Structure 1
Amino acid sequence: MFRNRGIAFKLILFFLLSSGVIFSAVSGYNYWFSRKTIERNVEDNARSIVLSTINRIEAVIRSVQKVPENLACFMEHGSCDKEELLLLLRKVVENNSEIYGGAIAFEPRGFDGEPVAFAPYFYKSKGEILFSDLASESYQYFYWDWYQIPKELDRPDWSEPYYDEGGGNILMATYSVPFYKKGEKRLFRGVVTADLSLEWLQEVVASIRVLQTGYGFLVSKNGMFVTHPLKELIMNATLFGLAEREGDDNLRKIGRRMIRGESGFVSLKGAAFGKPCRMYYAPIPSCGWSLAVVFPEDELMADVSQLNRTVIILGIAGIALLVIAVVYIARSITRPLREMARATGAIATGNLDVELPRSRSGDETGELLDAFRYMKESLKDYIRKLTETIASKERIESELKIAHDIQMSILPKIFPPFPDRKEFDIYAIIEPAREVGGDFYDFFFIDEENLFFIIGDVSGKGIPASLFMAVAKTLIKATAMKGIAPGEILTEVNRELSQGNDSCMFATIFCGILNTRTGLVLYSNGGHNPPFLLGRNNEVTPLKMGKGVVVGAWEGLAYQTEQIRLKPGDGLYLYTDGVPEAINEQGEFFSAEQLRRKIGEFHGASIQEMTVGIMKEILSFSHGAPQSDDITMMMIRFIEKSKSLS
């Protein structure tokens, strides 16, 4: 169906498809490259935001850590009474703006003069420094993580975020540093703490902005949400609990990496964050918490999508304009072609006077119209000349047919030619390569007992050869009737033919005289193929004879007469060179040797069956291949001696 469509349709379809494929490839690559570039830039931006925020938090945390560490060192190496200790602790809280509160919590009987527990705590509230004793029955500081963990780990540690009821009564995290009593045995005396209010930390993280709705959040080293835009998650949920609730294994794996202190840039596809997002996370080295920045993918790709839509609209508009241009160009090409197709149909019916469309341009279409107009005129002239040529050829063919009929009429074609003569049998056949040819044969009695026979092949083909053949045959018959020997016959005929032979034509001739009473054959050869001698015992041998020269080429030549006596049943098989030179489609020749074998295969057959059968073999061998020479064969068989001899 597509092949039957017009050129305009094919051009439009081709340009539409090719431009569509190219545009799709370019816009697709542009979208992919832009997306990768934006993702890379956003990742770098998110990393910069996270790391800069971590540096701010880290600076505060490290400054907070220094205070309890120095105070713990003082408690181990210095000494002071209760009044001095309380004054020192108050000054520490008052002079460090980052610290919300501080405590020195002793082991039972760990402070001189205090029989049980002693844990003074100063904290800030509404611009004032307030005091609280954590060694109350309701607080029981011995069991809090900020006291137990550094004691058990024997090192400073940040606690998990917690709400300090009975202490500061706010959401905080505590950095605890254990201190010891020096001596022969290192004894744990208590911990020095510094409280960090998480309200400040929440404000820092909440100030993070990425794109339009991107945000930051902070999780503790156990995955607890310390800060988050959703207040209900703070201190009430963990990353792992959120992952379990939503069935999000990817979020669970990310949470594990975050609490291990790793960093990375990941995609979040689950429902935990509402829609597909990207997240960058990194650890806070001092406390082991992890800070993350989250931003939606649709906002990330908003500019790329807008750009891609613009490119698609421009591309569609460009393709539409291209299609319009192609339609215009295609019609300018196909319009004259359609008109020319209609004219061609008229010409095909034989109307060579049909009007062709005018050439309106000098492009290829115009050149084609001019060429077609020239072709029409040339075709008219050619048909006129062809008509004349056909008429002339038909006249020549008619004349050739007449010439062929005349040529065949001068050759004996009634067999048996002498039905009342039983001493011999003779048969001949000819297959011209053209309407008329140069091969000939003849036989006739020159007296009561002697039969003259001849076979010849004139050089060349066609009418000149047939005319030369007719002259040669007539001269030979007239000369043979003189009763002279075959060699003398060829000598006289050569003299006549060679005189005034400006065309340099010649003939190969074999002639002989059979004495039907004795079987004696006198023969002479003028450059012809030697005949085959057929014995009664199926012996097929070439006839022995001297080398003769073609007849009619040179004057003054003398031809020899030779003889052979045939026994009853013996025969002579004469042929022209068209027989061995018959060629098949593979370029192979029939050859004289193959002819000898075929003669032997027809042993016992009549001479007519043998001659016709061999002709069929030759035609079957050539299998329709055009022959370059006439094919002529003649056979004479001596049957019995004349009764008068006996």
Structure 2
Amino acid sequence: DTELILNENLFTIAEKERDPALLDALDDILNGKEGFIQVKNSRRYPDYFLYYRGIPAVNWAMCVFIPESAFYAALYQMNFFLLAIVFIGLIMIIFIIQIVSKRLTKPLYDLSLAAAATGAGDFKANLPGKIFSSELIQLRDSVAKMQRDLQQHILDIQTATADKEKYESEINVARDIQMSIVPHLFPPFPNRKDMDVYAKIKLADSMGSDFYDFFFISDHKLCFALGEVTGKGVPASLFMAVTRTLLRSVAQESKRPEEILWHINKDLCSGNSTGMTVAFFVGILNLKTGETLYVNAGGQNPIILRENGKFEEIDTLSAREPGANENTIYIADTFAMQSGDHLILCSDGIINAANATDETFRKSAFEKALAHFQGDKPKELAEILLSELEKFRGAAPQTDDYTLLTLSYYSAETRGKT
């Protein structure tokens, strides 16, 4: 600054600035001392640094004024250079991070897409091939295993569904056979005044092959039967259909139950590779006398509800079931029915029906149920028995078919009154 050099000196500057630090420095110079101060907020000049030192030999003093901008110029330049280096370094770091991140996250992203596609049902979704992380390799292998397991699970479900549909179809066919083979129109003989009959099958979830039948073999003789084929499904239903057909065919020729069962047993044992048998009760009621000739071949004992309300179980000698041994000999027995009596035949599904506490229906509960019957119609009797059975069973599942036949007898003397 030319004006400063030509017109000013340290004393004039100190006097004008009135800066205490500058005045102290002036005293030091006069005393020959050395120092370095920073002068800020000058009224006339930019901030500066002052270095001074006395020279006693010549009674002089040397003062150096250094503007702050010049003093820090190198530092500012170095800071700028460092900032530039840091900025470039940050850009490079960000670039490297992006490359590494993409390298690491791209397989993870591809895995997430594959997992989503697998969840949507695409079990052949492509999985990433090049993976450099052991954790991601493990994750990829887990997704691949999940795809294979899901494929196998779907195949298992399809197979199980097909098997279930096949089984249900077989059950439906067997039920159709079972229900179409037995009489189902009631009353079956509306013009008869000497008897009435009713029967019903209540199917369980698992298909059985119970059946019943009744038909006249002469004007005054009624043949009735109730059977239970061992086994389930279509084979058992076909075996039941064959048995019922044999019953109708043989009974027209052989008028006695032991002869009927003997012929049926012979035919069923012939070529019976399945080993199926049929628990069979066959009876023939003489409507003129009330005498009932019967054979029980593995079935349940018949029950008679007498006209006076008395409960009576016929203790029968059970013979071997037809289909088991072709050499079986059957022997008939008899019991008498009086006018107003009701005969009850039922399957073991009713007798052995259990409630939630595993108690079975059996004789005591059966007798209690019969006490509610006050009418004279076999249908009403059957409905009361089945209703009481359902109450007894409660929430317990039905595990077997309920098959029931009720037969009411009215003698010739009371025929006109019914």
1:632 to 397, 400, 403: 403
1:577 to 325, 334, 348: 348
Match of 2:215 in 1: 444
Structure 1 distance, partners of 2:394, 2:141, is: 47
1:547 to 318, 324, 336: 318
1:590 to 361, 366, 369: 361
Letter in 2 for 1:402: V
Match of 2:267 in 1: 496
Retained in 1: the 8 A contact 2:369–2:384? no
Letter in 2 for 1:497: L
Retained in 1: the 8 A contact 2:173–2:234? no
Match of 2:228 in 1: 457
2:200 to 409, 421, 429: 429
Deviations 1:568-617 (A, max 9, x none): 11011100111122233443322333123212222436321221232233
Deviations 1:334-386 (A, max 9, x none): 998887666555444434344456665445x7545423322223322442454
SS in 2 for 1:397: helix
Letter in 1 for 2:168: E
Distance 1:458 1:345, change over 3 A: same
Retained in 2: the 8 A contact 1:423–1:642? no
Retained in 1: the 8 A contact 2:285–2:293? yes
- TM-score of the two chains, using structure 1 as the length reference: 0.44
Match of 1:615 in 2: 386
Retained in 2: the 8 A contact 1:532–1:596? no
Structure 1 distance, partners of 2:156, 2:244, is: 40
Structure 2 distance, partners of 1:605, 1:333, is: 88
Structure 2 distance, partners of 1:490, 1:587, is: 35
Match of 2:48 in 1: none
Retained in 2: the 8 A contact 1:585–1:623? yes
Distance 1:477 1:360, change over 3 A: farther
Q: Which one has more relative contact order, counting CA pairs under 8 Å at least 6 apart?
A: 2
Runs of 5+ consecutive residues of structure 2 not aligned to the other structure: 1-102
Distance 1:567 1:335, change over 3 A: farther
Structure 2 distance, partners of 1:598, 1:614, is: 6
Letter in 2 for 1:428: A
Deviations 1:388-414 (A, max 9, x none): 653564355345423422321111011
What root-mean-square deviation, in Å, do the aligned CA atoms of Structure 1 and Structure 2 show?
3.2
Larger Rg belongs to: 1
Deviations 1:66-89 (A, max 9, x none): xxxxxxxxxxxxxxxxxxxxxxxx
Distance 1:337 1:594, change over 3 A: farther
Aligned residues: 314
Structure 2 distance, partners of 1:345, 1:539, is: 74
Matches within 5 A, 1:131-170: none
Task: State the 1:507 CA deviation.
Answer: 1.2
Matched, 1:481 2:252: yes
Retained in 2: the 8 A contact 1:539–1:600? no
Matches within 5 A, 1:223-262: none
Task: State the 1:620 CA deviation.
Answer: 4.0
Runs of 5+ consecutive residues of structure 1 not aligned to the other structure: 1-331
Task: State the 1:429 CA deviation.
Answer: 0.8
Distance 1:586 1:422, change over 3 A: same
Structure 2 distance, partners of 1:337, 1:622, is: 59
Matches within 5 A, 1:198-217: none
Distance 1:346 1:547, change over 3 A: same
Structure 2 distance, partners of 1:538, 1:334, is: 88
Matches within 5 A, 1:292-371: 343-356=114-127, 361-363=133-135, 366-371=137-142
Structure 1 distance, partners of 2:361, 2:414, is: 41
Match of 1:506 in 2: 277
Match of 1:397 in 2: 168
Deviations 1:432-463 (A, max 9, x none): 33464221100011111111100011112222
Deviations 1:98-142 (A, max 9, x none): xxxxxxxxxxxxxxxxxxxxxxxxxxxxxxxxxxxxxxxxxxxxx
Letter in 2 for 1:584: N
- TM-score of the two chains, using structure 2 as the length reference: 0.66
Letter in 2 for 1:637: S
Structure 2 distance, partners of 1:484, 1:636, is: 20
Retained in 1: the 8 A contact 2:104–2:133? no
Distance 1:571 1:644, change over 3 A: closer
Retained in 2: the 8 A contact 1:521–1:564? yes
Distance 1:488 1:383, change over 3 A: same
Matched, 1:410 2:209: no
Distance 1:597 1:342, change over 3 A: farther
Match of 2:292 in 1: 521
Deviations 1:23-60 (A, max 9, x none): xxxxxxxxxxxxxxxxxxxxxxxxxxxxxxxxxxxxxx
Distance 1:341 1:413, change over 3 A: farther
Matched, 1:383 2:154: yes
Letter in 2 for 1:450: K
Retained in 1: the 8 A contact 2:265–2:326? yes
1:536 to 307, 310, 333: 307
Structure 2 distance, partners of 1:519, 1:626, is: 39
**Percent of aligned pairs with the same residue?**
37
Deviating more after overlay: 538-547 vs 408-417? 538-547
Letter in 2 for 1:545: T
Retained in 1: the 8 A contact 2:210–2:227? yes
Distance 1:488 1:381, change over 3 A: same
Retained in 1: the 8 A contact 2:193–2:410? yes
Retained in 1: the 8 A contact 2:370–2:385? yes
